[in-house]
Amino acid sequence: MTIRKSLPLLATTALLTAGLAAPATADAVADFYKGKTVTVVVAAGPGGGHTKYTQYLAPFLEKHMPGKPSFIVQNMGGAGGTKAANFLYTRGRKDGTMIGILLSDTPLASRLRTTGVKYVAKEFQFLGGADQPRSAFVVYKTTGVKSLDDAKKKQVVLGSTGKGSQTYVLPTLVNSMLGTKFKVITGYRGMGGIYLAMDKAEVQGFQSSWSGYKIARPHLVEKIDVIAANALTPLKDRPDVPLLKDLMTNPEDKKVAELLGGNMILGRGWLAPPGVPADRINALRMAFKKAIDDPEAIAGAKKRRMTWESARWQDMQAAAERITNTDPAIIARMQKALGLKKK
């Protein structure tokens, strides 16, 4: 009889303890963030899709984050996102007041680059994503190039932010694997710089996020053609655009294209550096989920013609893990096509 009575008592005590523990943790997180500022390091220059999404989402994070901290944007473009990734990984504050948004190709760059990488992609703590951008080859209609087959016969000048970014990596790989004649001009500051170069007719197109261009230059969408997409699933608004992975005839090149397409879930993904306490990571993840599910945020994004396709932090973490553990033979194939020496 004594045992029968004591078990419910213990269970009740455990439940009460658990019930008190959660608010105590939540209160501790709220107390920590109250009056503080969270810096969001964006691995791109101003004017591009990454910055626009960050600026748009920040007020909703302030609304849903315990303690109501303010969120500010710090642009840190350079080296295809590696500059920001290195900074967050080695020098980013580990208390939860500094988070970041990397480029979709930044985790892969940690495997491709032979120098300058100081981070391990899978060790970042992903928070979620408001958009899963599909990158695409975008060119002006005036080029007369309507497919990658056309690009094998006629040179098209594409703008690029640098040799570490997908704006350079993808066209260079496609030149090597499919025989296209893309001429890539590097050195532009962020996608905003590339868009401006297109406006000035310095370049004829780019390879990067299709949704980002639609947000930045909605009035010019009718003047361009999307000739191929780097994704695993079709573009929602242009489902007839061929996928890069389906255009590859060599089995090894197809594996490369599938890796690149699967990489896109990390585009515009929010993350924290290693070492941030678990309770603050959980609070950031919950606030992010509430922000992207906020009806006001969804309605505003639709009004602004912003693609709103959320990504779970678990799926992003798995993608970073997959990239970090990619078969060295696939990485070697890419390095060879890019003219890089093996690590």
Q: Is residue 4 predicted with pLDDT exceeding 50?
A: no
- Report the alpha-carbon distance of residue 160 to residue 206 in Å, rounded: 7
User: Could you check whether 37-132+264-338 and 135-261 share the same CATH topology?
Assistant: yes
Position 338 scores a pLDDT of: 87
Task: For 298-335, write each residue's pLDDT tens digit.
Answer: 999 999 888 888 899 999 999 999 999 999 999 999 99
Q: What is the 3-state secondary structure (H, E, C) of 177-239?
A: HHCCCEEEECCCCHHHHHHHHHHCCCCCEEEEEHHHHHHHCHHHHHHEEEEEEECCCCCCCCC
Give the 3-state secondary structure of residue 84.
helix
Q: Is residue 156 predicted with pLDDT exceeding 90?
A: yes
Mean pLDDT, rounded, for 63-68: 98
For 319, residues 6+ apart whose C-beta sits below 8 A from its C-beta are: 107, 262, 263, 265, 266
Q: Which has the higher per-residue pLDDT, 146 or 134?
A: 146
Map tokens 């000739």 to a residue. Answer: 227
Q: Is residue 18 predicted with pLDDT exceeding 70?
A: no
Mean pLDDT, rounded, for 163-188: 93
> 317 and 120 in contact (C-beta within 8 Å)?
no
Mean pLDDT, rounded, for 3-11: 41
Mean of per-residue pLDDT scores for the chain: 89
Position 264 scores a pLDDT of: 83
Domain at 37-132+264-338: CATH code: 3.40.190.150
- Report the alpha-carbon distance of residue 335 to residue 313 in Å, rounded: 29
Sign (positive or negative) of CA dihedral 82, 318, 298, 291: negative
Task: For 222-280, write each residue's pLDDT tens digit.
Answer: 999 999 999 888 988 899 999 999 999 999 999 999 998 888 888 788 999 999 999 99
- Report the alpha-carbon distance of residue 117 to residue 343 in Å, rounded: 11
Domain segments of the chain as ranges: 37-132+264-338, 135-261
For 61, residues 6+ apart whose C-beta sits below 8 A from its C-beta are: 38, 71, 287, 288, 291
Sign (positive or negative) of CA dihedral 158, 162, 188, 185: negative
**Pairing assessment for the beta strands 205-209 and 182-185 based on DSSP bridges:** unpaired
Give the 3-state secondary structure of residue 120.
coil
- Report the alpha-carbon distance of residue 130 to residue 292 in Å, rounded: 6
Position 149 scores a pLDDT of: 97
Which residue, among 165, 154, 222, has the nearest Cα to 191 in the 3D structure?
165
Mean pLDDT, rounded, for 31-47: 94
Q: Is residue 39 predicted with pLDDT exceeding 90?
A: yes
Dump the DSSP string for 87-117: HHHHTS-TTSSEEEE--TTHHHHHHH-SSS-
Domain 135-261: state its class: alpha beta
Among the residue ranges 159-168, 245-254, 290-299, the one predicted with the least confidence is 159-168
Task: For 328-343, write each residue's pLDDT tens digit.
Answer: 999 999 998 888 866 5
Which residue, among 106, 264, 247, 77, has the nearest Cα to 173 in the 3D structure?
247
Mean pLDDT, rounded, for 140-159: 97
Position 120 scores a pLDDT of: 94
Mean pLDDT, rounded, for 102-126: 89
Other Cβ atoms less than 10 A from the Cβ of 236: the count is 11
Position 242 scores a pLDDT of: 97
**Pairing assessment for the beta strands 156-159 and 182-185 based on DSSP bridges:** parallel
**Partners of residue 230 on adjacent β-strands:** 135
Position 305 scores a pLDDT of: 83
- Report the alpha-carbon distance of residue 25 to residue 102 in Å, rounded: 29
For 282, residues 6+ apart whose C-beta sits below 8 A from its C-beta are: none
Mean pLDDT, rounded, for 28-38: 97
In residues, how long is the chain?
343
Token reading at 178 = 């499919």
